[in-house]
Chains A and B, each alone.
Chain A
């Protein structure tokens, strides 16, 4: 087998099978793994259990990876962190935790998994395993989460237990939702977020060992007993030659025999109270105590054991084993005076010293929650595991309060850090395609996104020299002229389509829309606006009366779900009898428009399309190219035209027949120009979240003589009040620039903004609509549009730009 080799700060390190990156580095002689972010202090292995921040490194560009959890793999490129701080290259003012660069789509595998279990046990130690087996023996389905790559004890496979290895639980949330991240170490950045819904949760995360506070306690070579024992027993590494132990006599004695068995000479065991400082520059060379100085290359802390219950948060869980405090002696201890020095580092993540803590207490902040907020102690990667116990003891000693009075900080998830990438999951955007999508593709559609939908912005099969803008103009002009001079057809399947039927259908529409619909004759279509209770325009569309109790609504593309839910809500709240069905996906629809539209469509249907029998704003049921269809004579683009709705399955066939009959396809861009010449608004483009019909120049939609409708009272008030702003049309002077969305200035001060700006082939000018104050509403008023520091002069135009009388719709 090839040896495992990876790169460390430019050199090559060879690992043994079973090594983590941390153990391989230690084996190869590396002692400084990283540098602290604030002061650039060298840091080496401390806990080796994933509880401290000291072994965090940058792996293949991703910072803050705990090397003690990462199995060694060939080809990894690993850097220690904050080297520039150590070398004095970064100023303290700008220091911050290393930030992850964005990963490209192919360089990560973030997935989400949703699972349900009767019991979720967090922690695969002896207590966790016992809890899992007990539940499984009662026939329950159990998930057992273990953050290490293997369980401590070998276990027979049990059909009721699903074991998740390399899986860290980061929080237990409302409704017993357990959040956990399972890492696939075989691939870079491969993580799965598990959403586990549990009947009950057992937290068996054990206890963690935490550090003591004294001067230079963060020097490489000063380790917790867990790290020393893991190096010896898991990795077969003898971590030093001469060791000094710090801690209570009993635990030191126990550890001492273990170390000596591994060939380490234990020179002394001292109480933390007597420690003056650890000696050494980049690595410990000895320990200075009140009773003497000991030469040593290893200082081992038998630190206090703390039940690991951080992830339980405020939720109701069962605690088992060490997490419940079993075998965790709560032995109080006294910190030495050196714990108050600037070299005693309480918070390793944020470089908060004992001195900082004492200053904070002396400033009057004696509760650990205040210390945390003021100093940032406990607010970073290790979530207070290494600092909280030390800070509480220090605070108690300095302020004379009891440990209980000092208090503890509230633990909140996430307990271990979670990458934002895995929370975001896979980057997938749902796409909706109309039934005619692939025909548009063949016609050379240039696509645009509208909500989830793809729509052709324009069609282009030619190649024209010059910039892309002029190519678009060239294509859009041809489509525009087809509609104005002959016949065009646009796919409008994306528009929302809703059927409302039942005894109370008309009554509901009377309430929800500004117009009356219970009085609309069968066979007629009416344009209307939907307002909220404040009189704000929420959506617009057409409503056709199909029969006594059945109506057909169209909505804007993006609003169909909202309108559907809005109607459903009122129906539910009022207890009215009707059914509301969203037919959007079930129907394909297209709009044939232009002076020759009648001739084109008449080729495909027996329905008499003459104005005498099929006037403007009527609808008919008819057969189009042999397909049952609903024809609605409406005209968003300002020409004679019919909207054809057929079952989605027939959409592509009917589209093809309409093209063969002589209609030319046009896209959204041409439609936008055509409707702008007619000053037909687009809700959400020309209106915003505050626009009312009066200021949008559509006061005629508010039928205030109706008994009641949503927004009526507010609209009645708005009608009386002077307008604050108005939507006007304008023409730009002497330029083909399109400063769409730009502010409107009068005497240099902003009074509004342009909502739609396009080149009009009718006017041979750039035209648009803009919000202005009533002072500018009169035709001929000069306004200024400013875009990219260029000012454009424009004149307000009161008339509709094209076919003011609307004759062409009714030809």
Chain B
């Protein structure tokens, strides 16, 4: 794995500068059951294709951002900071 990833703050960098944070999932609310939390914590979708996922720029600005990546080709279509995404609505 040696693709380039565009950090929304720092620009295009080697993927080795980043920590992968897994596919983006919504945490169940406190009223949810034990099985819902097991599903959330352990059962990943493991999409073969395009998904949104978390990345952390460990060797750079130290921010978490979201990336839209094709897991088969490692093509990264979009990266965005969560706070920018909020503003965009």
Interface on A for B, CB 8 Å cutoff? 173-175, 177, 197, 532-534, 565, 568-569, 572-573, 575, 707-708, 712-714, 716-717
B56 & A713 in contact (Cβ 8 Å cutoff): no
Q: Is the CB of B4 within 8 A of A175?
A: yes
- Is there contact, CB below 8 Å, between B14 and A712? no
What is the bound-complex CA distance between A764 and B62, given in angstroms? 49
CB contact under 8 A between A575 and B83, given known A568-B56, A714-B34: yes
Q: How large is the interface on B (under 10, 10 to 19, 20 to 34, 35 or more residues)?
A: 20 to 34
Contact of A717 among B34, B64, B81 (CB under 8 A): B34
Which residue of A174, A532, A575 contacts B3 across the interface (Cβ within 8 Å)?
A174
Is A707's CB under 8 angstroms from B83's CB?
no
Residues 31-65 of B, flagged 1 when their CB comes within 8 A of A and 0 if not, give 01110111011100000000000101010001111
Residues of A within 8 A of B27 (CB): 533, 573
Residue numbers in A under 8 Å from B19 (CB-CB): 565
A197-B82 in contact (CB<8A): no
Residues on the A chain within 8 Å of B30, using CB: 707-708, 712-713
CA distance A669 to B56 in the complex (A): 36
Considering the chains assembled together, what is the distance between the CA atoms of A197 and B16 in angstroms?
Answer: 13
Secondary structure of the A side of the interface? helix
Residues from chain B with Cβ under 8 Å of A569 in the complex? 21, 54, 56, 64
Q: Are A197 and B37 in contact (CB under 8 A)?
A: no
B3 contact set on A, CB distance < 8 A: 174-175
CB distance from A686 to the nearest CB of B (A): 24
Q: Is the CB of A175 within 8 A of B2?
A: yes
In Å, the complex CA distance between A391 and B58 comes to 49
CB distance from A338 to the nearest CB of B (A): 46
User: Which residues of chain A have C-beta atoms less than 8 A from B2's C-beta?
Assistant: 173-175, 177
B82 and A713 within 8 A (CB): no
Determine whether B68 belongs to the interface, using a CB cutoff of 8 Å to chain A: no
Residues from chain A with Cβ under 8 Å of B28 in the complex? 713
Complex CA distance for A714 and B58, rounded to whole angstroms: 30
B33 to chain A, nearest CB (A): 7
Query: Contacts A712-B30, A713-B34 given: A572-B82 contact, CB under 8 Å?
Result: yes
Out of B21, B33, B65, which one reaches A713, CB within 8 Å? B33
Report yes or no: B64 in contact with A572, Cβ–Cβ below 8 A.
Answer: yes
Minimum C-beta distance from B10 to chain A (A): 15
A465 CB to closest chain B CB (Å) equals: 50
Alpha-carbon distance between A177 and B40 when the two chains are bound, in angstroms: 36
Interface on B for A, CB 8 Å cutoff? 1-4, 14-15, 19, 21, 27-30, 32-34, 36-38, 40-42, 54, 56, 58, 62-65, 74, 81-83, 86
Question: How far is A717 from B36 in the complex, measured between Cα atoms in Å?
Answer: 13
Cβ–Cβ < 8 Å partners of A716 in chain B: 34
List chain A residues, Cβ under 8 A from B62: 568
Residue of A nearest to B37 (CB): A713
Chain B residues lying within 8 Å of A534, measured Cβ to Cβ, are: 37-38, 41-42
Whether A573 contacts B82 by the Cβ 8 Å rule is yes
Chain A CB within 10 Å — which of B27, B56, B58 has the most? B27
Tally of A-B residue pairs with Cβ under 8 A? 64
Which residues of the partner chain B approach A707 to less than 8 Å between Cβ atoms? 30
Q: Does the CB pair B37–A175 fall under 8 Å?
A: no
Task: Return chain A residues, CB-CB under 8 Å to B63.
Answer: 568, 572
> In the complex, what's the smallest C-beta–C-beta distance from B63 to chain A, in angstroms?
7
CA distance A177 to B37 in the complex (A): 40
How far is the CB of B85 from the nearest CB of chain A, in Å? Answer: 9
State the Cβ distance, B80 to closest chain A Cβ, in Å. 11
Q: Within the assembled complex, what's the spacing in Å between the Cα atoms of A532 and B29? A: 15
- CB contact under 8 A between A575 and B86, given known A569-B64, A712-B30: yes
B83 cross-chain contacts in A, Cβ below 8 A: 572, 575
Contact of B82 with A714 in the complex, beta carbons under 8 Å: no
Q: How far is the CA of A436 from the CA of B28 in the complex (A)?
A: 46
Please indicate the chain A residues that have their CB under 8 angstroms from the CB of B32 in the complex.
713
- Give the residue among A175, A533, A708 with the most B Cβ atoms within 10 A: A175
Distance in Å: Cβ of A3 to nearest Cβ of chain B: 46
Give complex CA distance A332, B78 in Å. Answer: 49
Q: How far is the CA of A175 from the CA of B27 in the complex (A)?
A: 33
Q: How far is B16's CA from A777's CA once the two chains are assembled, in angstroms? A: 47
Query: How many angstroms from the CA of A606 to the CA of B79 in the assembled complex?
Result: 53
Q: Which residues of A contact B34 (CB under 8 A)?
A: 713-714, 716-717
Given A173-B2, A197-B14, A569-B64, A533 and B82 contact (CB-CB distance below 8 Å): no
Give 26 CB contacts A-B under 8 Å: A174-B2, A174-B3, A174-B74, A197-B4, A533-B27, A533-B41, A534-B38, A534-B41, A534-B42, A565-B58, A565-B64, A568-B56, A568-B62, A568-B63, A568-B64, A572-B64, A572-B81, A575-B82, A708-B29, A708-B30, A713-B28, A713-B30, A713-B32, A713-B37, A714-B38, A717-B34
Contact B64 A175 (CB under 8 A): no
For A177, what are the chain B residues with a Cβ–Cβ distance below 8 Å? 2, 14
- Could you say which residues of chain B place their CB within 8 Å of the CB of A565? 19, 56, 58, 64
Residue of B nearest to A712 (CB): B30
- For the complex, give the distance between the alpha carbons of A532 and B42 in Å: 11
A175 and B41 within 8 A (CB): no
Q: Which residues of B contact A575 (CB under 8 A)?
A: 82-83, 86
Smallest CB gap from B82: residue in A: A572
Check A714 against B56 for contact (C-beta < 8 Å). no
Contacts of A713 in B (CB 8 A): 28, 30, 32-34, 36-37
Whether B21 contacts A533 by the Cβ 8 Å rule is no
Complex CA–CA separation, A712 to B4 (angstroms) = 38
Could you tell me the distance between the alpha carbons of A712 and B1 in the complex, rounded to whole angstroms?
37
B76 to chain A: closest CB distance in Å? 10
| Docked pose: A708 CA to B36 CA in angstroms | 15
Alpha-carbon distance between A94 and B7 when the two chains are bound, in angstroms: 51
Contacts of B64 in A (CB 8 A): 565, 568-569, 572-573
Shortest Cβ distance from B31 into chain A, in angstroms?
Answer: 9
Are A714 and B37 also in contact (CB < 8 A) when A174-B1, A572-B64, A708-B30 are? yes
Say whether A533 contacts B37, CB under 8 Å.
yes
Given pairs A575-B86, A713-B32, 14 additional interface contacts (CB within 8 A): A174-B3, A175-B14, A177-B2, A197-B4, A532-B41, A534-B42, A569-B54, A569-B56, A573-B64, A575-B82, A713-B28, A713-B36, A714-B34, A716-B34
Question: Hey, which chain A residues are within 8 Å of B58, CB to CB?
Answer: 565
Q: Which residue of A lies closest to B36 (CB)?
A: A713
A568 to B82, CA, bound (A): 12
Q: How far is the CA of A572 from the CA of B37 in the complex (A)?
A: 20
Q: How far is the CA of A573 from the CA of B36 in the complex (A)?
A: 19
Report the bound CA distance from A565 to B21 in whole Å: 10
Chain A residue nearest to B56 in the complex (CB): A565
Give bound CA distance, A707 to B42, whole Å: 23
A197–B15 Cα gap in the complex (Å)? 12
Q: How far is the CA of A373 from the CA of B37 in the complex (A)?
A: 44
B14 touches A533 (CB 8 A): no
In the bound complex, how far is the Cα of B22 from the Cα of A532, in angstroms? 15
**Residues of chain B contacted by A717 (CB below 8 angstroms):** 34
Kindly report which residue of chain B lies nearest to residue A197, judged by CB atoms: B14
CB distance from B62 to the nearest CB of A (A): 7
Q: Shortest Cβ distance from A501 into chain B, in angstroms?
A: 16
Please measure, in the bound complex, the distance between the C-alpha atom of A714 and the C-alpha atom of B28, giving whole angstroms: 12
B-side contacts of A712, CB under 8 Å: 30
Nearest residue (CB) in A for B32 is A713
Would you give the shortest CB distance from A721 to chain B, in whole angstroms? 11
Name B83's closest neighbour in chain A (CB-CB).
Answer: A575
- A714 to B38 Cα, complex, angstroms: 8
The interface residues of chain A lying within 8 Å CB-to-CB of B42 are 534
Distance from A149 Cβ to chain B, minimum over Cβ atoms (Å): 29
Distance of A746 from chain B, by nearest CB (Å): 32
Take A175-B4, A565-B19 as given contacts and tell me if A533 and B56 are in contact as well, using a CB distance cutoff of 8 Å: no
Choose one: B4, B15, B33, B40; the contact of A533 (CB below 8 Å).
B40
